[in-house]
Chain A
C-alpha cells in the first residue's frame, strides 16, 4: 500500500515537473519554464556540449570508421565533364585531361593526407607547382583548385564557381589542360574526400593577354619557378553521410530547435485559451526566427573556402 502511494506520488511529481517545464501556470509565472531566459541559457550550454561530443568522436578513428560511415560520389570523369560544361557556358574551349597533371594532382592529395595539412603550401614549403615539376611537365602557367568533404561532382563545381578565385581558374581562357585527383582518406581526424584540380598551359602553347594579343613568356621565365604564376584556390564542403559528425550535430540541433518551437506553440495555445494577461516576448516572432533556423539547418551545405 505504502509502495503504491510512493509510486503515485512519484508519478504526480513527474507530471508536475513536466507541466512546470512546458505548460504556463502559476508555478512558472504563467510562462513555460523552458522559455525563461535561464532555461534557454541552459539549452545553449546543452547545444555546445552536444556539438563538442559529436566533434570529439572524430578523434577516435576506430569508432569513426565503424560507426560514422563515409561515402562520396565524386569521380574524375564527372568533374572533367562538369568543368568543361562551365567553360562551354562561357564559350571557352574544353580542357583536355593530361596524365602528368593527373599524377601531380594525385601526389598533392597524397602529400596532404601523409603530412595532415590542408593548404596550397605544404608544411615543408613545397608549392603546388613543385608537384607538377616532379612529373617533368613543362608549363608556362598553372593553377590549382582544392576541395574536400563534398558528396558529389555537382557540389564541388558549384562551390568552385561560387568562389571568385576558383571560378577564375575554371574559366581561364589560357588553360588548355587539366589534371584531377579524387582521394579518400583521413584528414585531421575526419574521413573525407580530397579533390585536387590542376590546370596548366604547356610551354609550347602561346598565351593571350587581356587584349587578346598573343605573347610568349621569356625563355628565362619558363625555367624559373618564381616567374611561373600559380593561380591558387581551395575550398571544402560537406559529405553526404548519414552518420557523419555534421549530420549528427545537425539532427541534434534540429531536435532542440523543434522542442522550443513546440513549447512556444503550446505556451501560446494554453495562454490564449485561459486568457492569461502576461507580459512576455512575442511567441510568434520567436517561432518565425526558429523556423528560419530549422530551415537553414535542413538545407545547410557544409564547406569552407580558404582565402
Chain B
C-alpha cells in the first residue's frame, strides 16, 4: 500500500481535495436537503471514477476492483442520501 501511495501521490492529493470539497459543499448546502443529495451522488460518482482511473494508470485493475469501488461509492452515497431523506 505504501508503494502504491508513493506512486500515486498526485492521485491522492486530488482525492483529498475532492473529499474536502465534498464536506464543504455538503455543509454549505444546508438546509437544502435536495441539494445535499445531489452533492452526495455527484461525489460518490467522482470517487468511483477516481478509483478506476487511478488503477487504470497503475495498470493494476480487474473487474473485481471496479465492482469494489462501485460498491463502496454506492454504500457511501446511500448513507448520505438516506440520512437527508
Chain A residues with CB under 8 Å of chain B are: 35-37, 40-41, 43-44, 47-48, 51, 159, 162-163, 235-237, 246, 249-250, 253, 256-257, 260, 268, 271-272, 279-286, 288-290, 292-293, 295-297, 299-305
Contact = CB atoms under 8 A, between A and B. Distances in A.
Contacts, number: 118
A279 B30 contact: no
B33 A300 contact: no
A284 B33 CA distance: 29
B15 interface: yes
A282 B51 contact: yes
Contacts of B78: 44, 47-48
Contacts of A36: 68
A162 B64 contact: no
Contact of B72 (A48, A289, A297): A289
7 A-B pairs with the lowest CB-CB distances in the bound complex, closest first = A303-B31, A40-B71, A37-B67, A281-B68, A37-B71, A159-B31, A292-B19
Task: Report the contact-size class of chain B (Cβ under 8 Å from the partner).
Answer: 35 or more
Looking at chain A's contact residues, the main secondary structure is helix
30 contacts: A37-B67, A37-B71, A40-B68, A40-B75, A41-B71, A47-B78, A47-B79, A162-B30, A249-B82, A253-B79, A257-B79, A260-B75, A268-B1, A279-B62, A282-B51, A285-B12, A285-B54, A288-B19, A289-B72, A290-B76, A292-B19, A292-B76, A293-B76, A295-B23, A296-B23, A296-B26, A296-B80, A303-B33, A304-B33, A305-B32
Interface string B1-19: 1001100000010011001
A118 B61 CA distance: 50
Given A44-B74, A282-B1, A288-B19, A293 B68 contact: no
A303 B30 contact: yes
A285 B8 CA distance: 11
Interface of B: 1, 4-5, 12, 15-16, 19, 22-23, 26-27, 30-33, 47, 50-51, 54-55, 60-62, 64-65, 67-76, 78-80, 82-85
B64 A249 contact: no
A125 to B, nearest CB: 26
B32 A283 contact: no
Given A41-B71, A235-B31, A292 B83 contact: no
A282 B67 contact: no
A142 to B, nearest CB: 23
A249 B82 CA distance: 9
B70 A284 contact: no
A35 B82 contact: no
Looking at chain B's contact residues, the main secondary structure is helix
A305 B34 CA distance: 8
A290 B27 CA distance: 17
A36 B70 CA distance: 11
Contacts of A272: 1
A281 B1 contact: no
Contacts of A279: 60-62, 64-65
B72 A281 contact: yes
A291 B28 CA distance: 19
A300 B83 contact: yes
